Amino acid sequence: MTPTPFSSCTLLRKDFSSREELIDYVRALSPQAEGDASYAALGGATQARAALSAADPALYGRTRNYHDGKVTRLSPYITHGIIDLNTVRNDALQKTGPPEQAYKFIQELGWRDFWHRVARQHPEWLWSDIEPYKTGWQPADYADHLPADIAGATTGVAAIDGFIRQLFETGYLHNHARMYVASYVVHFRRVKWQAGAAWFLQHLLDGDAPSNNFSWQWIASTFAAKPYVFNLENVAKYFAGAVDTRPGNNRAIDAEYPALAALLFPHLPPQAP
């Protein structure tokens, strides 16, 4: 059966004899999509409930920054309205003893809620600088478009290329990896956060403009008091084994923070030791 072009009144088929059949159907709905944009991640309420039941909010608080930490991967289900934040929060409170054990987890849910409230109140902020950059650079100093080597995962910074490939292959990135990639794009390559944010939204299964764009602005410092910068030592601490963190393959990010600050933000006063 040939699917009809997608429109607001199209009722999508739900009956498929195999996942391949479903993928073919969806692919035919989006003939303009490039490449094989199917991921291993599964959608639907059953999968959302399974992810929720596997969540461990107390362990999350202690391990969430590590690549193999107990993150939930609930974001695609939340973004697409399959599960809501209240349900996730109530589940966390039910699973933990004292509510403090769920504090860090619920705080992260709170960020999502906060970003959405800000977007509702100020939709114009989604794509414009909320505040000036605190980097010593002017907006005009940043490139408008994403360089081809970033879009192609060939920057030559092995850890960053590894994260970008992971984004392409899975439609997901750990929060810490999103921070590294965004910081690399905006601060190490001096590209406008808008270009990076639009690129992420094309690839993330959980693509959500308020969470994504305000996070990019937070990294960029247009919605924060200072820019977020990382170095190889930090990536190696949290992601060793998940991406290539050998110094010889990551020269551009292999420096101490004062040296990086002097290199990336030469117009700012030197950092206090």
Nearer to ligand FAD, 200 or 239 (CB): 200
CB 65 to ligand FAD: min, Å: 10
CB 168 to ligand FAD: min, Å: 15
3-state percent breakdown (helix, strand, coil) of the chain, nearest 5: 55, 0, 45
Tokens 């050998």 -> residue:
246
CB 138 to ligand FAD: min, Å: 22
E strand or H helix that includes residue 143: none
Give yes or no: 175 in active site: yes
How many angstroms separate the most distant Cα atoms in the chain? 67
CB 221 to ligand FAD: min, Å: 13
Nearer to ligand FAD, 43 or 207 (CB): 207
Nearer to ligand FAD, 28 or 52 (CB): 52
CA–CA separation, 108 and 197 (whole Å): 20
CA–CA separation, 235 and 72 (whole Å): 21
Nearer to ligand FAD, 104 or 134 (CB): 104
Instruction: Output Rg (C-alpha) for the chain, integer angstroms.
Output: 20
- For ligand FAD, the binding residues (CB under 6 A) are 64, 71-75, 78-79, 108-109, 111-112, 115, 174-175, 178-179, 182, 200, 204, 206-208, 211-212, 215-216, 219
Q: Which of 115, 125, 199, 216 is catalytic?
A: 216
CB 181 to ligand FAD: min, Å: 7
Give yes or no: 234 in active site: no
CA–CA separation, 213 and 102 (whole Å): 26
Give yes or no: 218 in active site: no
Q: Which of 65, 111, 234, 249 is catalytic?
A: 111
Q: Which of 34, 90, 100, 108 is catalytic?
A: 108
Sign of CA dihedral 204, 210, 213, 214: negative
Give yes or no: 137 in active site: yes
Beta-bridged to residue 143, according to DSSP, are 191
| 273, two tokens | 């030791």
| 118, two tokens | 């800000």
Nearer to ligand FAD, 25 or 228 (CB): 228
Catalytic residue IDs: 108, 111, 137, 175, 193, 216
